[in-house]
Structure formats: structure tokens, C-alpha cells
Structure 1
């Protein structure tokens, strides 16, 4: 891949991982009848924003995740109180717009002082209009407009906290599930792109070259077809090729490869200790069957899940140092290097990241999906929810700690890049 392709594929990969995770939350929240106020990719200041239907879709500055903001999860930022003067627009005998500022500039509205209102259950507003008390029904999708922003009201039956525990849990759990499904698909796709070794291969190719290795310095390139080594014709004898290299530690070897239809003669000396030259030889590949693809995807999911939890274990018991952890910068750096190896390798790496993202989000760490599911589980056992203010505080503190950790590991990433 060229540099532009690598950059585009890297950005697309991260966008896919985060977007699908958040789409899982979004889709099942909508299925449960919850009002989704915002679907965001990234955190921090908005770079792009567009509203479609009831939801605002935003792209934010910091590409370190995303979120789906549902009505009722957090205190609503716009409140209307009795005694407040405002203006309303009525259509078909129901209030569709409630204006809180710049009242003199509004046309076609009713202006008055709020005497009573209920924007969650009974959906009405009572105004004193020039000394007369008027009562208006409020449309369930009415907008409150203030400071140039519009916020849709959230009747009680559209709020996250008033849905059954099962529906709320599904809306939260769906995010990680989407990552697991994506990982399974990507592992299978990676095998389809790469293929499986043919049992009757008649050729040996160079499937990869280690950067700065003996082979790379000698001029070996990826996809070279091996013709002979030290005058011995290789054909499809993969084992013979490896044996000659390993037995020539510290001795010069002559390698003939076919590249773009032409024979290229190369000379190099395998490492005197290991007998290696830094290549990944492989035979011919064939297209895998559907059964092989599904089996490979399932096996890869199982194997990588074990590796990920082993990494968590080492981190908990101090077998990793903080400097060993990588943040967004290091992850991007590794992704770029893998993308240079080819689409199959990048697809496999994306599958690993998607699996990791799903597992990590299910950990019972405040602000993550796992913590929110834990609170829902406690609510199901107790028969009543935990104080929403206390739960919000736990998630807020957890989010702040995660952001602090992100800053530290990003700092380590940058220092590592400078040192290298």
C-alpha cells in the first residue's frame, strides 16, 4: 500500500470500529423507544454536526472513542420553571416550539408567564397571557429553543431510566456485541483475503520481509518467487528451502528469485547465531471453504480472547510497567506498520482491535459499558434503581480517570517516538 492508502485505511478502520460499537447502542435504544439526542464519534469540540430526525450526528476532535447520548441518562440542560416568561408556537392545537429568549424577535407566537407545566407526563403548559390563563397541550416532540440551540423534550416514556431493565441492558450490551460480531467477520475476511496453504503447492514465495533484516538489505522483496538456493532448484519444497538457510549460519548463500517475470540473483549471509535472514516464506494458497472460514474465525476469537485476558492478568499483577502500555499514538503507529504489509494483515489486526474493544468495554470500570451493566444488575436484584446522582458521579469520576490514563499513555507514546 502507498502512504495515502495506508492513511485512509487506518482512518477507515478506527472509524468502523467506533461507529459500529455506537450504532449497536443507538439501534437498540431506538428499538426500545428511547430518545437518542446525539450519536457522536470522538470527544471534545465538534468538527462537524448534522441533525436528522430526532438525533444529532457529530464528529468530534479527539478520535479516542464515541458515545450515544440518550434522554434521561444525564440531567437535561434546559429547564423551564413556573414564573418564567416565554413564547410558544402552537400548531394543530399543540405547542411545537417553546422559546426562552429573544422573545421580541419571534413572530406568530403566544407570549406569557408560565403558571404551571409538565413536559414529562401530562404534556401541558399553562400561561398567563395578558391576564388570561391559557392551557395548551404540548406535542411529545416539541422543541425548547434557547441560545440558538434546540432541545427536544423527552416525555417520561422516551427516557432511558424509565424503560424496563432488560431493554436498557440490551441497549448497553449491544455496543460490545457489535464489536464481537465485527471481529468474527473480519477474522473470516482476513482468511479469505490471504487464503490457506495449498496441500499440493509447486512454488515457494516470500510472503513478507522483516524491516532492516539481512534479506531486506540484500534486496529480497515481498512476493518474490524462489527459484533456487545455492544452485538447488526449490520448486514447491518449502522444507528444503528453510533447511538450507538454517544450515548456512554465517555462510554466504546465493538466492535466485523471479520478480515481475525476470530472474534476480541475490547474495546474503544468514545470521551466524540463529541462521535466519528475516523472511516469511510460504507456499501457494487456495481459497478456503465456508467451513474452514467459520472455523478459523471462531478459533481466532477464542485464541485472541485468551491472549487479551492474559494481558489483563499481567497488568493487574504488575507484570507490565506503565511504560509498556500503548495509547492512541502507539496503536496508530502499529496499525500503520501493519497496513503496509497488506490488506489481509490490516483486516486481521482490525479484528483483534474490535475484539479487544468489545472485551475492554465490558470490564466493570466506571464510565464503561460493563459498569453500567453492573448498576443495572444491582437494580434488577434490589428491585429499585441506585440514586441516579450517585451513579452519575461514579461514571464521571471513572471517565476522568480514564482520560487521565489516556493522557499519560499518550505522553509515553510521544516520548517513545522522540527517543526513537
Structure 2
């Protein structure tokens, strides 16, 4: 139910933006509806039909002559080009406004998370470069940082590589300082497997190109001994590794498969991980006065930037189709967040739900502004071209482009929905 409410509010606000600007520009709105499919409730007022439809995913603001060449009085095309631009842009803009209002509520209740340095590893390159506890990071690798989660997302999408130089800008005592250093490297030796859980020695999956995979082990095998020492569970394994750290020396692995016992000599593989040498805040601090509005806007900025960064990673191939989520995936995420938040108390439960609404509203705003046919952004491209050349592109051609885009969009939605269902089940 909470998922339906969040979806409905976000979509309703989007369509309300189109509706209000259409009315302001004297465009006749034929139907304003929430949902898709058959009408459940419907009424006509002031020449507009207001409908609530069966399927709660979607909504529409159907304007006279919107998808036709009709330029008669009261039609979409009869409005000035700038009026039409305002009508089309209003949907995403209202989504950003909704995200801002909800973010202000969240910041007012639980605060914001400045990227304050909480710890610096002793004798690390970061400490030697002059980084101190209490410094507030404002820039990382040229990327402006407003919040701790800005730094987290950027670091996650742009993994630190050995030999990189970390460039920071920090605020200390009201003054900005620049700090640069090469990260330290953590060297580990790994066998290359994932366990089904921390207490189990059952191989859930193998890491491609790592020693256990190369030795022929398979998912479902159970590791029972290392160098003849029994490791009956996860605790025994961790204890063994603590006393006998893996190195580049071969070890004998004993494992069971289908009730039979096998042995394999494995040489652990060196795994080098660059480490920044500092930890930073990702928890909320209270805000007051105008800072509530300021950091409400910053929260929306974070959501928009994160969406754009994710799209960039998708286009460049660093993220794949399996990383996309549609309505089914979003609904599942909202449901999981709701269940996990119950134990945190009523306040945190509703703050997390509002945060999901902010994320969804900001995402919808950004996605709709993409310059793709059938989306608001695609329509804006045609309208901006019309404003520049002072005459419209052939409306029939424009309609065909948007229709083709809609078909491709529907096909993408089917694929994404299929992937979402596979992930859940």
C-alpha cells in the first residue's frame, strides 16, 4: 500500500505540473488521470474529465490537439512556443519541487551529513599529507562534495586504482586547504570464493580467474580442511586465517562434493587494494534556520547528480541492464526499506519512506528531461528547435518520431520489468 501511495503522489505531482501550466496557457485539458487502464472513478468539471484508473502505475494529462496537427483554439499547438515549453517542462520541474519540499522535511527532522573526516589512519599517506580529523571535505578528485554520501557515491562509481593520486579540498577553521597524496596499498592473498553466509564453509560462488576456480572447485562444494586443519564453520576458518595468514605459499584445500572428499593444492593470489587512509561521516547532524532550506536543496542536488552519474556509467558500460530497475524493482526496494525500517521507530520509518519518495521524484524528473523521443525532454528538443527557427518541424514527422520512441520505451520497460522479476524470485 505504501508503495502505491508513493508512486501515486510522485506521478500526480508530475501530471499536476503539466495540468496547471496548460490551464494557465489556455490549453484545453481533456482528461487528468491517475493510473492506467479502465476508469474506477471519473467526473467531469470545467470541461476536464478527472479520472482514477485501475492500474496505479502512471498517469496522464491529455491536452486537446497534443498529438495532432490541429492548431484550433484551445489546442496544445495553438499556444505560443514558450507556453508549450513551459507546459512540457512543468512536469519534471514539479517533481524537483516535490523532492525539495520532502527533503526540507527530512533535513528538519533528522539533519544532513557533512563530509567531515572522522578518522585518519596513523602513519598513513593521508596523515603525512596533513589531513586531520575534523576537516570537512569539499572536493574529491575535482568533484564537488556537499555531503558524505556525495563522496561515497563518487568513490563507488570511480574506484580508486593503485598509483592514483588523491586530490582533496578541505575546510579547516573556516579556511580552505588543498591536500594531495598517493594512497597506501593493502596487500592480501585470496583463495577467491564467496560463502553462502559467514558461518558456512559452503562455496556460494567463485571469483573468475582466482585460484579456487582454476583448481576446478564449483558452487555447492564444502571446504572442510586447510593444510589438514579442520575448518568446520566460518568461525573456525576465520580463526585459522588469523593464525596462519595466507601468502604466496601453496596450501592444501580439502573439500566435499556429493558426499565424496577431494584435495587440491592452491596458491593464493595476491590482491592489492589502494586505501584512502581516512574515514568520513555519513551520519546526520542537526540543521536549523535557513540551513534546513539550504540542505534540503543540497539533498535534491545529490539525488539529481547521482542519477546523472548512474546514467553516465550505464552509457559508458560500467553498469549494465541488470543494474536498471523499473516499477517492479522500485516497488520491491520500497517494500524492503519499509520492512527494515520498522525496527527503527516510527520517525525513521517515515523519514525513510519520504527519502524513497525524494529519490523516485528526482529520478522521474531527470529521466523525463532526457532528450529522447516520447519523453518530455524529447518534446522540449523539438520545441526549442521551433523557438530558434521560428517555425515548427513537420508535426507529422514529429509525431512519428515520438511514436517510435514510445514503442522503444515500452520494449525497454518490458525488459527491465523482466529483469526485476528475476532478481526478486
TM-score range, shorter chain: 0.5 to 0.7
The residue aligned with 1:348 is 355
The residue aligned with 2:326 is 327
SS at match of 1:157: coil
Distance 2:323 2:379 in 1: 29
After superposition, the Cα gap between the structure-2 partners of 1:29 and 1:196, relative to the gap in structure 1 and judged at 3 Å, is closer
Distance 1:65 1:25 in 2: 14
The residue aligned with 1:193 is 109
Distance 1:355 1:75 in 2: 30
After superposition, the Cα gap between the structure-2 partners of 1:196 and 1:70, relative to the gap in structure 1 and judged at 3 Å, is closer
Match of 1:413 among 387, 409, 420: 420
SS at match of 1:158: coil
The residue aligned with 2:306 is 307
Contact 1:10–1:339 under 8 Å retained in 2: no
Contact 1:41–1:66 under 8 Å retained in 2: yes
SS at match of 2:34: strand
Question: What is the CA deviation profile of residues 36-66 of structure 1, one whole-angstrom value per residue up to 9, with x for unaligned ones?
Answer: 0011223333333222221112223443322
How far 1:287 moved relative to its partner? 6.2
SS at match of 1:349: helix
Distance 1:318 1:52 in 2: 49
Distance 1:352 1:414 in 2: 21
The residue aligned with 1:216 is none
Higher relative contact order (CA 8 A, sep 6+): 2
SS at match of 2:387: helix
The residue aligned with 1:371 is 378
Distance 2:37 2:16 in 1: 19
How far 1:172 moved relative to its partner? 0.8
Alignment partner of 1:386 is 2:385: no
The 5 A counterparts of 1:261-340 are: 288-340=287-339
The residue aligned with 1:184 is 100
Alignment partner of 1:401 is 2:393: no
After superposition, the Cα gap between the structure-2 partners of 1:195 and 1:382, relative to the gap in structure 1 and judged at 3 Å, is closer
Distance 2:31 2:47 in 1: 9
The 5 A counterparts of 1:3-152 are: 7=1, 9-75=2-68
How many residues were matched structurally?
A: 256
After superposition, the Cα gap between the structure-2 partners of 1:45 and 1:400, relative to the gap in structure 1 and judged at 3 Å, is farther
SS at match of 2:32: strand
Distance 2:28 2:297 in 1: 36
After superposition, the Cα gap between the structure-2 partners of 1:156 and 1:344, relative to the gap in structure 1 and judged at 3 Å, is same
How far 1:195 moved relative to its partner? 4.5
Contact 2:104–2:292 under 8 Å retained in 1: yes
Question: What is the CA deviation profile of residues 102-131 of structure 1, one whole-angstrom value per residue up to 9, with x for unaligned ones?
Answer: xxxxxxxxxxxxxxxxxx9xxxxxxxxxxx
Question: What is the CA deviation profile of residues 142-185 of structure 1, one whole-angstrom value per residue up to 9, with x for unaligned ones?
Answer: xxxxxxxxxxxxx8221110111011111111111101111111
Distance 2:290 2:398 in 1: 46
The more displaced of 372-381 and 55-64 is 55-64
Using the size of structure 2 for normalisation, the TM-score is: 0.56
Distance 2:423 2:388 in 1: 47
Distance 1:44 1:286 in 2: 45
Distance 2:411 2:337 in 1: 28
Contact 1:379–1:386 under 8 Å retained in 2: yes
How far 1:299 moved relative to its partner? 1.8
The residue aligned with 2:195 is none
Coordinate RMSD, CA, aligned: 2.8
Distance 1:31 1:60 in 2: 26
How far 1:352 moved relative to its partner? 1.5
Alignment partner of 1:170 is 2:86: yes
